[in-house]
Chains A and B, each alone.
Chain A
Amino acid sequence: MSTNSPLTYVHSRTAVLRDENIDTDRIIPARFLTTTQRTGLGRHCFEDWRYAADGSDNPAFALNQPSARGCAILVAGRNFGCGSSREHAPWALLDYGIQAVISNEIADIFRGNALKNGLLAIVLSDAEHRWLLDNPGVELRIDIADSTIRLPDGGSIRFALDAFARHCLLNGVDQMGFLLQQDADIAAYEHRMENAA
């Protein structure tokens, strides 16, 4: 079942990937899309970036730094998640341990897919984003109820979150259930269209 558990906050240090335009092929290369499951993709997350040719960890990959281990918040360069619509990308990130992605621009389909799976996708202003890029490892608490990121120095950043997405995250509501409840309206629409044709 895809019903998500309720998510009220994410509290973690940040890991930073400064690259812009990190596409979903980089998040999870196509050769791992032959799976018929949603689970187990974390070990291939960022596969071609993360591992060296001999299969060992690539030390140059920012998320392999000891300081980035265990971080649940990923701050990434502009236009994160562009390219393919594969939902395997948020599945892989979640399985890897990421619970929130922050950028100053996030691709549409990725953002929708992420929120449907309980992965927070947050877009901030250029200045706020730049500060986070320049300060990796900062400890953030992201509260969903008031759409606020709290910084260790007491400062805070508000972010935009669609009211329905917030409701679904906070209550673990699954959108399929919501849509199924619209059955009468859907049937009425179909009836109208068939009569008009």
Chain B
Amino acid sequence: MTPRTLLDKLWDAHRVSAETESTPGVLYIDLHLVHEVTSPQAFDELRSRGLKVRRPDRTLATLDHSTPTLPPDADGRRPYYTKEAETQVATLEANVREFGIDLMGWDSPQRGIVHVAGPEVGATQPGMTIVCGDSHTATHGAFGSLAFGIGTTEVGHVLATQCLLQRKPKSLAIHVDGGLQPGVTAKDLILHIIGTIGIGGGTGHVIEYTGEAIRALSMEERMTVCNMSIEAGARAGLIAPDDTTFAWLEGRERVPKGDAWERAVAAWRTLPSDEGARYDREVRVDASTIQPSVTYGTHPGMVVPIHAPVPAAADAIEQRALDYMKVSAGKPIAGESVDVVFVGSCTNGRLSDLREAAGILRGRRVAEGVRMLVVPGSEQVRRDAEREGLHEVFRAAGAEWREPGCSMCIAMNGDLAQPGQLVVATSNRNFEGRQGKGARTVLASPLVAAASAVAGRVTDPREYMNQEAAA
């Protein structure tokens, strides 16, 4: 048999019917994750056609994007940003009741950002196909599942038929050799990769991340890497499952138990790409040369090492991005004055991320005039963080400890920056206006974010980490 890539194996196993010249193939979807923003019109479509949800047991919903991150008032009323946001949440609550779908809702101890909560409950498993009306669905590829974002029309298709019409994407292997230096994180790695291949560099492809640096990553770090695959234009990111994956999943609520677990693991061990399998494209990256990295422009491909000078604009469009960001070519981003720091999102809102940020903040204070928001990715992350006392560290430092949700990543729930403010954010998009009209976003790791909060300027976290080592 010809050697197959992980993508080939996932694709073949889910093919209901093959693609032809005149029609795309039919691809079966094992898990459909749903949230309030991209689903209402899809449920309407089902209703207007008199259809049911084909597999409610393969569908799982959560509330995350429009939800407030401040607690309810004394009467239990939640501080929704707008009436429409409240209606949108109520609409999903009504839709899941009508169609019989599980919802990790307000009363659930599992509620969280869809890409944080899904893996936590063990809904995400190797070998699956997973979709969601959200482009960061690529996160779940960290488990060796083919996971990608879809639009609302396709959300309707999956609700009704559990299938999608698809043509097979191309494969791109990114081999990451070497190891990350101390103070350099998975976030810096993926920012570096996006800067290397460009934000359109993965268009039409599914990326498989391989190599010794990837194998050494924890599941949380692998999720951070796969999460931002879409920022390089790729539909999905994949990492082959291994013992790290299985150890992380074992015992979680929705994974198989007992003999079924053993059988599942045996099957998952056959997933990694075969020796000699061919990719459409391959790229090599050396992890050991990567520095803490930050964005300086208005898309995630405009990224530089924190101390490196911002490159000169290649054309009028790039100059416009520099003007919007109020940064000058030739000067590094380190030292830029900071107004807001946001730690959270499906990229960096997990326990390990909060621990890293807290590690810098412990015994220190957020600089005068800087607002810092720390938003756990899920109720589970919140509980775990509070058990360790991380919330006390954040509060003592002067940061706000919020309830789980997307928050300032997309700024549609009222958590936003003012025009002109500079935000150091651990999220994934620095598009114009993403964090509020006129807001300027610098994407960074939780370490860089926390160090920048303390200094009031974009700061290399190693300055604080070295002090600790010396003390």
Contact = CB atoms under 8 A, between A and B. Distances in A.
A4 B263 CA distance: 46
A113 B151 contact: yes
A84 interface: yes
Contacts of A78: 200
A15 B149 CA distance: 30
B168 interface: no
A82 B200 contact: yes
A180 B45 CA distance: 13
A36 interface: yes
A34 B411 CA distance: 12
A33 B161 contact: no
Contacts of A107: 200, 203, 233
A186 B163 contact: yes
Nearest to B156: A176
A23 B431 contact: yes
Interface stretch (A63-71, A150-158, A159-167): A159-167
B454 to A, nearest CB: 29
B235 interface: yes
Contacts, number: 173
B162 interface: yes
Interface in A20-41: 20-21, 23, 25-26, 29-31, 33-38
Contacts of B163: 179, 182, 186
Contacts of B85: 34
A83 B22 CA distance: 29
Nearest to A181: B161
A36 B83 CA distance: 12
Contacts of B135: 83-85, 109
B199 A183 contact: no
A79 B302 CA distance: 14
B296 to A, nearest CB: 15
Contact of B235 (A33, A38, A109, A179): A109
A26 B433 contact: yes
A56 B180 CA distance: 50
A86 B230 CA distance: 13
B80 to A, nearest CB: 9
B153 A2 contact: yes
A29 B161 contact: no
A116 B432 contact: no
Interface residues of B, number: 65
Contacts of A54: none
Contact of B160 (A20, A108, A180, A190): A180
Given A2-B45, A36-B88, A180-B161, A87 B411 contact: no
Interface in B289-323: 299, 301, 317, 320
Given A21-B199, A185-B16, A164 B165 contact: yes
Given A36-B40, A79-B203, A87 B152 contact: yes
Given A21-B199, A34-B82, A79-B200, A186 B161 contact: yes
Contacts of A117: 153
B26 interface: yes
Interface string B130-163: 0001110000000000000111111011001111
B153 A79 contact: no
Given A176-B45, A176-B49, A189-B16, A30 B434 contact: yes
Contacts of B150: 85, 109, 112
B431 A25 contact: yes
Contacts of A127: none
Interface in B32-47: 37-38, 40-41, 44-45
B431 A83 contact: yes
Given A34-B88, A164-B165, A176-B160, A77 B45 contact: no
A48 interface: yes
Contacts of A186: 16, 26, 28, 54, 161-163
Contacts of B23: 163-164, 178
Nearest to B205: A108
Given A179-B26, A189-B28, A85 B156 contact: no
A105 B437 CA distance: 27
Interface in B221-279: 230, 233, 235
Given A34-B82, A109-B149, A164 B28 contact: no
Contacts of A176: 45, 49, 153, 156-157, 160-161
A167 B161 contact: no
A33 B437 contact: no
A96 B375 CA distance: 36
Interface in B8-28: 16-17, 21-24, 26, 28
Interface string A109-133: 1001100110000000000000000
6 contacts: A30-B412, A83-B431, A90-B151, A116-B151, A175-B165, A185-B17
Interface of A: 1-2, 18-21, 23, 25-26, 29-31, 33-38, 48, 77-79, 82-87, 90, 105, 107-109, 112-113, 116-117, 162-164, 167, 175-176, 178-180, 182-183, 185-186, 189-190, 193
